[in-house]
Structure formats: structure tokens, C-alpha cells
A and B are shown apart, each in its own frame.
Chain A
Amino acid sequence: MPLIEFHNVNKWFGDFHVLKNINESVNKGEVLVICGPSGSGKSTLVRCINRLEDIQQGEIIINGQVVTHKNQDLNALRSEIGIVFQQFNLYPHLTVLKNITLAPIKVKKITKEEAEQTALRLLDRVGIGNQAHKYPIELSGGQQQRVAIARALAMKPQIMLFDEPTSALDPEMINEVLNVMKNLAREGMTMLCVTHEMGFAREVADRVIFMDHGEILERGTPGHFFTSPEHERTKAFLREIL
């Protein structure tokens, strides 16, 4: 059984049809890379999974449960799904440690000591164990994004969503973030990554989908996607980006 399923998902922003008849599924432990030009609906697709955006038609099913109905407990759903944003969105008034421990303490109700231990372990894992007591503004962009990943992981999510995690970073900081994501993929995390990092896609993606104007135009393994794309627009996109 797939972990995440999209069934005929449609979404509009006013008159603008952002997602058109999306059907897709992601298995447990799979890494799916979503690429496409800006405005193609790829970020929206990812943000529908944790209901940061609501869909108007179709359904999204996680672990066999429809999560897009009205009575869904959003906080319960969201505590199972980590998300990493383009702009990091760390809490500037809290230290790195408190950024990470806030949700586990308040949502999962675990003790402060346990949350801090987990946080320090995660910070070590993303390579910034010595920055726990700094404020976000004192860190570089790459470090901030790694804190954001640690913050998402602290909730022990089943699924990790990445919404262009490296697009706001200076080039020399992109790799430190991608390396963390690669390790996560190797450890078997189910990941959906909206990204323009084709090297990353080639190396760790199980499948790549290409979106344009709200539709999935191309889907396949990285091998298929990069060597023999079928759709003209995919070819044009790859020429632009590679």
C-alpha cells in the first residue's frame, strides 16, 4: 500500500487552476523529486499534503486514511509530516535549541529534558551540534536551513516535505544542505522534494516527476527522466536547467 496517494486532485486559486487532475502515489521510503518551472504548481502540490493549502476536488490519502476531508484533525496530521521551507522560517526570538524543542514539548508532550537530548542529537547529525544556544540570525543560511531540517525531524515524522530548500542559499552553502538530505534519504525517510538541484535528483531520487501548468507531464526514474524524456516541455526545461 502506498504511503501517500493523490486521487484526481484539483485546486484553484480563484480562477487560476493550479492543480489539474493529479494522480500520483508515493511508497514508504521513496524519494520523489518534483521539478518544473515556477508557477507550475509543484510547491502547491507539496503544501496540500500537510494541508497548508486546501484542495477543492479529489482526495489525498495518507496511510490509507483520507486526510482532505473537513473533520480531519489538522494538528495530528501535521505532527506526522515535517516540512522544510525555502525561507527556513526559523523563529528568530528563540534559540536554535528552543526552535527545535518547542513542537515536541507542546504537541507531543514529551519532557523538556528528552526533547533537548533529541534536539542535540539531531543537531549533531546535521553537523551543527555546537550552535544550540545561538539565535538563528547568528547562523549562516546553510546552517539555518539545517536547523530547520532538524526542527522538522524532531517530531519524528513519517514523511518529509522539502519546498525548494536550497533556492534561497548562496551557492557555497547548497551542498551542506543537500548532504543532510542525502543522508536522510539513505536512512529510508519518505521524502518529497521540490527542487531544481538536478544532481541531487539524479543521485538520490527514486522517481522524478515534471510539472507544468498544474499537470504532471512526465514521471519516471531519474535514468529515464534525464536521458530519454518523452515530453517536449520536459526536454525544453532540462535544456534550460542543465
Chain B
Amino acid sequence: MDTFTTWFFGLFTNWPVVWKNFDYLLIGAYPQGPLGGLAMSIVMAVIGIFGAFWIGLAVGLMRLSRKKWLSWPALVYIEIIRGTPLLMVIFWFYFFAPILLGQAVPETHSAIAAFTVFTSAYVAEIVRAGVLAIPKGQTEAARSSGLSHTQTMMYIILPQALRNMIPSFVNQFVSLTKDTSLAMIINVNELTLSARHIYTRTMKAPMEIFLTIAVLYFIICWVLTAFSRKLERNMSRYQARNNAH
């Protein structure tokens, strides 16, 4: 082997450190202590995307409203969040939530709130694009049969739009899963901070530890993306086609 290869693989020789601490990377000190590691990352991402879906749906529909007093606040919300780094949103919630609520707030809760709010702005844009992509004839047909605006949204537009949104929505979930690593900055013991804990405790094997968590992030995101591609293929069937000439 040439000297580079020898040197490169020489960096990755201390795998026992990773294996001995692998459970800490996956679930933290749980069940004896608090949950951490990859499980914490996933829990935050899942709660975050779930909350972001509902807020994003509401904000996206408000943004589409013809009533200014509904669309304007939505627009401001979306633009402010999208023009702000996630790390800053995390700091906001970390510093202001205890002041606003007048009591200590667990870091994990601040982080989840930040992820929810941040992601909801992007989900709102996905919802808006999804609704606008439905041909106008669908709304016309529904409204001219006497269905109200709300009924039209509920029975005709959203069922089609939400289906079209699934791929973008999964992408957003993938982004969020990776972005949960930022929560380490306010001391949430998610995957990246767990890795650092192991390193600072052992002072050994940084390359092995951080390569391992990179692989863990990758597997999660890859599985999600593959799942989304499969969904996309299955659902292209019943879409409204814009067959106008």
C-alpha cells in the first residue's frame, strides 16, 4: 500500500471505542438516564415535522386567502422565518421562552419549538405551491355545484394537493432530521452531542466516532428519500391532468 492509503486507514483504527459506546450513540443513557443520541434526533424531527405540518397547512392556506388580513400576516411570518438562520431561531427560543413563560424551559422543548416554527414556514410554501398546482377547473367545477369555499378545499383541492406535496414534504423532513444536529448548541443531547460526549470522555477515536454518526444520519435520510420516491411513483395515477391545449 502506498503511504497515503496507509496513513488514511491509520486514522481509523480505534473502532472498539465506537462499539463500546454504540448504545450511547443510539439512545443516550436511556433507560437509566435521559434519552439521547439518534433516538433524540428522531424524536425531535418527528415531533417537529408533525407540528410544522399543521402550522404550515394553516399558514399556507392563510397565505392563499384573498383576504388581506389573513394573507398578510402569513406572508410576513413566512418571509421572516425563511430569511433567518435556523441556529438563530433556536437561540430565540432558548433565551426568550423562559422569559416569556416565566419559568425554566427544558432545552429539548425550546429546540423542538424552534424546529416546528422554522419548518412550518417551509411547509407553508409547499402547501401554497401544492394548492396552486391544482388546475383551476377543479375549483370551478366544485364551486359551481354549490360547494362552499371550505368544502371545495376540504374535499377537492387539499386531497389532491396533499398527495402532490408528499415528495417535497419528505424532503423537508430529511432536512430537518439533519438540522436537529444544531440543537447541540443549546446542550440537547442528540446524536451529534452524544458523539462529542464520547469523544471528550475517552479523548480517543474522533474520526471513527464522527464517521459513524455521519453514516447514521445518511442511513436515516436515504431510507426516507427512497420511501418518498416509491410514494411518488405510486400516486402519479390519479392526478388531475391539465389537458388544456
Contact = CB atoms under 8 A, between A and B. Distances in A.
Contacts of A89: 135, 137-138, 140-141
Nearest to A161: B144
Given A85-B140, A87-B244, A79 B145 contact: yes
Given A92-B238, A93-B238, A168-B243, A103 B146 contact: yes
B145 A151 contact: yes
B160 A81 contact: no
A120 interface: no
B146 A79 contact: yes
A45 B156 CA distance: 26
A83 interface: yes
Contacts of B148: 75
B155 interface: yes
B65 interface: no
A107 B137 contact: no
Interface in B136-154: 137-138, 140-148, 151
Contacts of A76: 146
A93 B156 CA distance: 8
Contacts of A106: 147, 151, 155
- Measured as residues with beta carbon below 8 angstroms from the partner, the interface class of chain A is 20 to 34
B106 interface: no
Interface in A144-198: 148, 151-152, 155, 168
A219 interface: no
B160 A92 contact: yes
A91 B245 CA distance: 19
Interface string B49-77: 00000000000000000000000000000
A52 interface: yes
Interface residues of B, number: 26
Q: Among B140, B143, B146, find the residue whose CB has the most chain A CB atoms closer than 10 A.
A: B146
A139 to B, nearest CB: 13
Contacts of A135: 237-238
B145 A155 contact: yes
Contacts, number: 74
B185 interface: no
A87 B160 contact: no
Nearest to A99: B141
B159 interface: yes
Given A75-B146, A79-B146, A107-B147, A93 B163 contact: yes
Interface string A48-72: 0010100000000000000000000
B237 A137 contact: yes
A202 interface: no
A93 B144 contact: no
B163 A91 contact: no
A155 B159 CA distance: 23
A93 B146 contact: no
Contacts of B135: 87, 89
Nearest to B244: A87
Contacts of B239: 92
A7 interface: no
A87 B163 contact: no
B240 interface: yes
A87 B155 contact: no
Nearest to B136: A89
Interface in A85-111: 85, 87, 89-93, 102-103, 106-108
A157 B19 CA distance: 73
Contacts of A91: 138, 141-142, 156, 160, 240
17 contacts: A50-B144, A52-B140, A52-B143, A79-B146, A83-B141, A85-B141, A87-B137, A91-B141, A91-B142, A93-B163, A103-B146, A103-B147, A106-B155, A107-B145, A151-B145, A155-B146, A168-B243
Give 4 nearest A-B pairs by CB, closest first: A79-B146, A89-B141, A103-B145, A89-B137
